[in-house]
Chain A
Amino acid sequence: MKHRPASATFFVDRRPLIGIMPLPPLEDLIACPHCDTLHIDAPVPPGSIARCKRCGVVLFAPRKQALTQLLSLSIAGVILLVAAISFPFIDIDAMGFENQTSVLNAVTAFSEGRGVPLAVAVALFIIVLPMVRLLALIYAIGPLVTGHRPRRGAHVAFAMTEQLRPWAMAEIFMVGVSVALVKIVGLATVTIGPAFWAFVVLVIITLFNDRVMSRLSIWKALEREGAV
């Protein structure tokens, strides 16, 4: 049987809205980002999921300590990303010819001639954008966790983490790496370096972060704490 989690977000009945009864104050409403349906923004208890009444999209999925988790994992993510860039990634050895590759090498390997745009794109997808996303998230939610006023431009930073989400492709890169390894495993001896494992952990953190993040709740918290 399909599990339908309980929730406390109510949908707005259209009848009272048409002229007869007054609207609730706008800050007590929430609209589904996917289908525009209005709901009353009632508190959702931690651990439960509030879905849109009409299209089923998750509106709120609050968890206890979610922000603290998000912050500490993001900080861990930054450290891992730095490690993933600096340490050897993969080492291959074919007939005595050895080549050690760091992630930076992978990016700059074809940075000559027509490889340049591709190198730039790969650098953006696997290093720059994931890093910008993590830093912007730390900037935006850090003060919320420590109980301070949000920093100036916190909403710009958080909007950025949301917009960059599809373009940060560390997890897709790792699948690509696995495919590449299968392709050359017969031709050469492959040794996996520490950066490879740093990347694996980073991917797990990113996937977990995106699950924990309840973006509408963070926007509400930023508004409540007076972000400018």
Chain B
Amino acid sequence: MSTTPDTPVTAPIADPVGIPPGVTTARAAGLVACRRCGRVNAGRAVRCQRCHGPIRSRDTQSLQKVWAWLIAGLIAYIPANVYPMLITASLFQYDEQTIVGGVIELIHYGNYGIAGIVFAASVMIPVGKFIAIAYLAISVQRGRPANAHRRHKLYDVVEFIGRWSMIDVFVVAILSALVQLKAVATINPGIAALSFALSVIFTMLSAMAFDPRLIWDAEGPTAHE
């Protein structure tokens, strides 16, 4: 194995511009890598030797799935904002609260920190995620080689943060379980709770369908071999 230069990865990871000299990919070497376990398989392999999972050099349908789930997520996000998330009924009043309404109420009572958390989870993260995934998909479709590192970082963030949008759904779940005080007050989930949960699930599936290797393919000559 002296065919490879023993360069430990103690040096800074890659230059800011382009790929580090001398890097090759499994695809460029005519091999198929497994995204689940990292095993490198022979070029014709369809199952991974190590983890027995299905493998493909690139998921050619990746972008179609990404767009399909993303659009589903967007569609579900509309009723999630229009219809009430929480329905509160008490002796004296009947109140329907939307996502944004809930945030405004928290601000009204001076809970700025909590209002910030809910706003971030229910509005900023979902909207940011729609934009980020669309941007990643479009940049890959156009074969943009520029700033792969930044796009890869963005992909990491989207993957990590998407599930946190579910906070408000759990808030509704807990509130409607707790506040069932027959005569005094009851809280029940509105239609928005379900559509919002679906929207989060669909966008998570969209992000998962994205094959991050596509970001790097456009970058170097390794992509065209």
- A residues within 8 Å of B by Cβ? 4, 6-17, 21-24, 26-38, 40, 50-56, 59, 90, 92, 94-95, 97-99, 101, 105-107, 109-110, 114-115, 117-118, 121-122, 125-126, 155-156, 158-159, 162, 166-167, 169, 172-173, 175-177, 179-180, 182-184, 186-188, 215-216, 219-220, 222-223
A156 to chain B, nearest CB (A): 8
Residue in A36, A125, A159 whose CB lies within 8 Å of B53: A159
Question: Using an 8 Å CB-CB cutoff, how does the interface string of B31-63 with A read, 1 for contact, 0 for none?
Answer: 101111111111000000111110000000000
| Cβ–Cβ contact B167 & A172, under 8 A | yes
A6–B7 Cα distance when bound, in Å, is: 11
- B residues within 8 Å of A by Cβ? 1, 3-10, 12-14, 19-20, 22-29, 31, 33-42, 49-53, 106, 109, 111, 114, 117-118, 148-149, 152, 159, 162-164, 166-171, 173-185, 188-189, 191, 193-194, 197, 201, 204, 208, 212-213, 215-217, 222
A222 neighbours in B (Cβ, 8 Å): 50-51
| Cβ–Cβ contact A176 & B38, under 8 A | no
A101 to chain B, nearest CB (A): 5
| A40 touching B1 in the complex, CB below 8 Å, given contacts A105-B177, A162-B36 | yes
| Cβ–Cβ contact B10 & A7, under 8 A | yes
| Cβ–Cβ contact A101 & B20, under 8 A | no
Known: A122-B169, A162-B36. 11 other contacts (CB 8 A): A11-B22, A21-B3, A26-B40, A30-B38, A31-B33, A101-B174, A106-B173, A179-B167, A182-B106, A186-B109, A220-B37
21 interchain pairs, CB-CB under 8 A: A8-B8, A11-B9, A21-B3, A30-B39, A31-B34, A38-B29, A38-B40, A50-B9, A56-B13, A56-B14, A94-B185, A95-B181, A99-B181, A106-B173, A109-B173, A166-B162, A169-B166, A179-B118, A180-B171, A182-B106, A216-B37
B154 to chain A, nearest CB (A): 12
| Cβ–Cβ contact A16 & B37, under 8 A | no
B172 to chain A, nearest CB (A): 8
| A34 touching B213 in the complex, CB below 8 Å, given contacts A6-B8, A97-B183, A115-B188 | yes
Residue in A11, A98, A105, A121 whose CB lies within 8 Å of B23: A11
| Cβ–Cβ contact A13 & B5, under 8 A | yes
| Cβ–Cβ contact B178 & A99, under 8 A | yes
- Which residue of chain B is the closest to A183 with respect to CB atoms? B175
| A10 touching B13 in the complex, CB below 8 Å, given contacts A97-B181, A115-B188, A122-B169 | no
- Which residue of chain A is the closest to B1 with respect to CB atoms? A24
| Cβ–Cβ contact A166 & B204, under 8 A | yes
A183 neighbours in B (Cβ, 8 Å): 106, 114, 171, 175
B4 to chain A, nearest CB (A): 6
Residue in B24, B37, B49, B118 whose CB lies within 8 Å of A37: B24
A107 to chain B, nearest CB (A): 7
| Cβ–Cβ contact B50 & A220, under 8 A | yes
| Cβ–Cβ contact A10 & B36, under 8 A | no
A92–B191 Cα distance when bound, in Å, is: 25
| Cβ–Cβ contact B38 & A32, under 8 A | yes
| Cβ–Cβ contact B194 & A176, under 8 A | no
- Which residue of chain B is the closest to A113 with respect to CB atoms? B188
| A16 touching B149 in the complex, CB below 8 Å, given contacts A176-B170, A176-B174 | no
B1 neighbours in A (Cβ, 8 Å): 24, 28, 40
| A34 touching B178 in the complex, CB below 8 Å, given contacts A10-B6, A51-B9, A110-B189 | no
| Cβ–Cβ contact B36 & A118, under 8 A | no
B52 neighbours in A (Cβ, 8 Å): 155-156
| Cβ–Cβ contact A13 & B171, under 8 A | no
A119–B180 Cα distance when bound, in Å, is: 16
A160 to chain B, nearest CB (A): 11
A23 neighbours in B (Cβ, 8 Å): 29
B202 to chain A, nearest CB (A): 13
| Cβ–Cβ contact A114 & B191, under 8 A | yes
B198 to chain A, nearest CB (A): 9
